[in-house]
């Protein structure tokens, strides 16, 4: 049996989590609701209406958790992200980049907002990163691949420790607001991007 290169890549994909960092203060200058803007910007990267998005990215499983970060939960987050692989927005400021890579973070010079994503395909995180850069997403700083978080159960443990709130679960263009979700994106916004409710 002959495998296409993309098929081989998909077979070798591992599930993985990542933490995407946004500057809430910066986005507040241009966005009425930065939280909704950040979540919508991430979902746009793999929504059914993203014509340039590869099919394996659109049909992947995504669980999203969200929260602002302050002194009460920064250390918990840092313990998970400090040793991960980092991808930065070259246009972001040094203090913002320091937050992502875990350097010089004794004082937060801005309000970081976190969108943590677990997916069954490791490569989708880089696709989201490129999409956020290409769309010049206001406030986007960069992301960290969670190398020490190996399973979705460990991802859930991290979310509890950092106090990340439930947002949404998406798979194959269908979305679900799990129990406890903060529902930052209304159903009409989700449908506008091409998502349909999961039954």
The structural domains of the chain, with segments of one domain joined by +, span 13-174+187-197
At residue 106, the pLDDT reads 65
* 3 state SS of 168: strand
- What are the tens digits of pLDDT across the range 121-140? 999 999 999 999 999 999 99
User: What are phi and psi for residue 168, nearest 5 degrees?
Assistant: -155, 160
Number of H helices, E strands in the chain: 9, 8
Q: For residue 141, how many C-alpha atoms fall within 13 Å in the half-sphere facing its CB?
A: 27
**Residue 23 carries which DSSP code?**
E
- What are the tens digits of pLDDT across the range 48-59? 999 889 999 999
Burial of 55 (0-12, 13-18, 19+ CB in 10 A): exposed
Q: What is the pTM of this model?
A: 0.91
- What are the tens digits of pLDDT across the range 78-121? 889 988 899 999 999 998 998 898 876 667 788 999 999 999 99
**Residue 3 carries which DSSP code?**
P
Distance CA 75, CA 73 (A): 6
> Between helices 124-134 and 34-44, what is the axis angle to 10°?
120
């Amino acid at each position: 049996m002959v495998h296409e290169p993309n098929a081989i890549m998909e077979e070798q994909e591992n599930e993985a989590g990542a933490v995407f960092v946004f500057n809430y203060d910066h986005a507040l200058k241009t966005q009425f609701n930065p939280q909704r803007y950040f979540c919508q910007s991430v979902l746009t990267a793999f929504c059914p209406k993203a014509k340039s998005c590869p099919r394996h990215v659109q049909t992947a499983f995504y669980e999203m958790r969200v929260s602002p970060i302050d002194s009460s939960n920064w250390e918990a987050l840092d313990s998970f992200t400090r040793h991960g692989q980092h991808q930065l927005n070259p246009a972001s400021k040094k203090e913002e980049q320091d937050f992502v890579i875990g350097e010089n973070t004794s004082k937060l010079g801005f309000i970081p907002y976190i969108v943590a994503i677990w997916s069954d395909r490791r490569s989708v995180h880089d696709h989201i990163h490129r999409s956020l850069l290409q769309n010049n997403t206001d406030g986007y700083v960069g992301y960290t691949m969670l190398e020490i978080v190996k399973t979705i159960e460990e991802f859930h443990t991290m979310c509890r420790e950092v106090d990340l709130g439930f947002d949404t679960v998406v798979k194959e263009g269908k979305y679900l607001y799990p129990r406890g979700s903060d529902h930052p994106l209304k159903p009409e916004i989700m449908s506008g991007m091409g998502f349909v409710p999961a039954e």
